[in-house]
Chain A
Amino acid sequence: MSDSGVSATHHNHPIKTIREAINEALHQEMERDATVIILGEEVAGGAGCQGSDEAYGGVFGLTKGLGPRFGRGRVIDTPITESAIIGAAAGAANTGLRPVAELMFVDFIGVCFDQIFNQAAKFRYMFGGKARTPMVIRATAGAGMRAAAQHSSMLHPVLTHIPGLKVVMPSNAYDAKGLMIQAIRDDDPVCFIEHKLLYETSCPVPDESYTIPFGEAAFPREGSDMTLVAMGAMVPRAIAVADKLAAEGIYCDVIDPRTTSPLDGEAILESVEVSGRLVCVDEANPRCSVAADIAALVAEHAFSALRAPIKCVTAPHTPVPFAPNLEDAYIPSEERIEQAVRDVLGGR
């Protein structure tokens, strides 16, 4: 599972939240490698103000403590200037640094998308393999905080679509730490999508440094009746459904791809070969989504194994609404996931 042999199932490790796990990964990598820098809005916070010198540590506190520890030369507060942030990160990555740029909300890729998809993602290919762009774009994503349409999107399908980018979406603290360390050490541009509802979720996380390779799915539950693929904040919901159904003797193979690019398609296909049934859960909008991509993958490569039509459980094809009842209805619920599993089990 990891190159240092550290196991998630080793329960002697201290319990940490995703926020703490990512923060620890950033600390350890900045300590290990002087070329790692952090830049973004309020990654330290308080620049040019009269109050605390570290007012924020990132708007969600993910970079807390890094400013005092490594100094403002390596933990760089920027203006609200997303194109300049991503551009600076990409140019710095081409010339010897390993920047971790914080985009705050993933919705803000709208104002810097050129620097992501036309610049950083394409350098290696269009320059004939000579460019290296080892950068991480951290962004928080997802609905559930009543933050409404422009602060709640899940845009990993958009990023996954782009060749040259890697897209990481941890669902638990153990994975978050190992994937973040891998992202920083990786020589390609990596979009690291953090679901804002997961920041306080916790599990045992080793103190020492470890990496989790990209493109290797995790199997939080194993079973042969149903392949249940879920990403990000949908993973805990899929696990809850799997546990409920297990009490009835229905066993789901819950697959968390952890990275949508590269995608561990092999793990999904192998599981479907056994179960013959697929439910794919993704909080993103349905059209051209990762859920649709996985459904197409299975339809193309494991059609003969399927015993029932595939079902995708996603958000509707709408922006994220504000009113709490509407937002709750927008996000795929455990009830909808469970119903989809039962529907597919009830198929031929």
Chain B
Amino acid sequence: MKYSKQFLVEAYTTMTTIRQFEERMIKEFMAGNIPGFVHTYDGQEAVGVGVCMHLSDDDIIGSTHRGHGHCIAKGCDIELMILEIMGKSGGLCKGKGGSMHIADIDKGMLGANAIVGGGPPLCNGAALSIKTLGKPDVAVSFSGDGSSNQGTVMEALNLAGVLDLPHFFVFENNHLAEGTGDSYAVSGEIAERVRAFNIPCDTVDGTDFFAVYEASKKAIKHCRSGKGPYGIEADVIRYDGHFIGDPQAYRGEGEIAYLREHKDCLKIFRKRVIDEGWMKAAELDQLDEKAADAIEKGVQRGMAAPRPSLEELYSDVYCTY
């Protein structure tokens, strides 16, 4: 398989942006510049980007509490995201949603979702709109190993199968639901659960961008062609705690260091494109710097921005009331 330079640049730029964005959010959170609960996506970039590279603004995604990466991959403005995460005026959701509720309907980003398993039923609805209105689009839900245990997700799989909805179910198995391992909490295999609903489901190495990209290509083609839902279970890793500040007492000694050395999707991407002779290390480094500059600019803007005006407390509850 050969990929265009432009494609590789876009993929790596998005992945490194997500990585550095999350690392910066951790720093800002620890410095007290971000209120509330923040769940970071670093380590899983290959999945969000590998899937969303196939999507346009007309396609819909539903995300999770660990949603920053999906937002960036779907094209949300990172400065407006930072404003939102900092709870500032002008944020993507006017500072009223925060990290766990970032949405950008215009970009087809139906929302992060702080309820584990909350998203897939909603993405069925987006897929139902697509089908009913005769559009060529696809709805994509992101779920984790944690949400694969929620009844809502099982219900969503069943209804998607019953109604042949153009819904691509992406399960990112990072093997940790908060602080509980999937070997304990998931009875059986996630992909087998999906297949049990007569929905095809592939397993993929979620640390390999190219593997995710190709698996998603097949799945999304299936959904767009009216053949109904499709699933993938991506095997990924989680670097950070469930939330920023989680001491991760449940991790093994040297576990995270091992993952950073051997399972880092950015390192794996870099090695592949350099080994293949598609890109040079210096080019990739340059993209890292460019991303860092954009994030720095966003953080500066976020720090300088005011809090939402008090009137915002009362607005946007209803369209009319």
Task: Report which A residues bind B (CB closer than 8 A).
Answer: 35, 37, 39, 73-74, 76, 78-79, 81, 83-97, 99, 114-115, 118-119, 123-132, 163-164, 166, 186-188, 215, 262
Contacts and interface: CB of A to CB of B under 8 A. Distances in A.
Considering residues B94, B155, B158, B321, which has the most beta carbons from chain A within 10 angstroms of its beta carbon?
A: B155
B97 A127 contact: yes
A78 B155 CA distance: 11
A40 to B, nearest CB: 12
B123 interface: yes
Nearest to A215: B321
18 contacts: A35-B133, A37-B132, A78-B163, A79-B158, A84-B121, A87-B155, A87-B156, A91-B139, A97-B128, A119-B115, A119-B118, A119-B121, A125-B96, A126-B96, A126-B101, A126-B103, A130-B103, A130-B105
Contacts of A85: 159
Given A78-B159, A79-B158, A87-B120, A114 B152 contact: yes
Interface of B: 60, 62, 91-97, 101, 103-106, 110-111, 113, 115, 118, 120-130, 132-133, 139, 151-152, 155-156, 158-159, 162-163, 315-321
Nearest to B124: A88
A91 to B, nearest CB: 2
A81 B159 CA distance: 8
A17 to B, nearest CB: 30
Contacts of B319: 124, 132, 186-188
Given A94-B110, A115-B152, A119-B118, A128 B316 contact: yes
Nearest to A122: B101
Nearest to A130: B105
Contacts of A123: 103, 111
B152 A91 contact: no
A84 B121 CA distance: 5
Considering residues A39, A81, A85, which has the most beta carbons from chain B within 10 angstroms of its beta carbon?
A: A81
A164 B163 contact: no
A114 B93 CA distance: 21
Contacts of A115: 118, 121-122, 152
A90 B129 contact: no
Contacts of A119: 113, 115, 118, 121-122
Nearest to B156: A84
Contacts of B133: 35, 96-97
Nearest to B316: A129
B158 A95 contact: no
Contacts of B155: 81, 83-84, 87
A114 B115 contact: yes
A91 B318 contact: no
Contacts of A186: 319-320
A212 to B, nearest CB: 14
A128 B93 contact: yes
A126 B97 contact: yes
B256 to A, nearest CB: 32
B118 A118 contact: yes
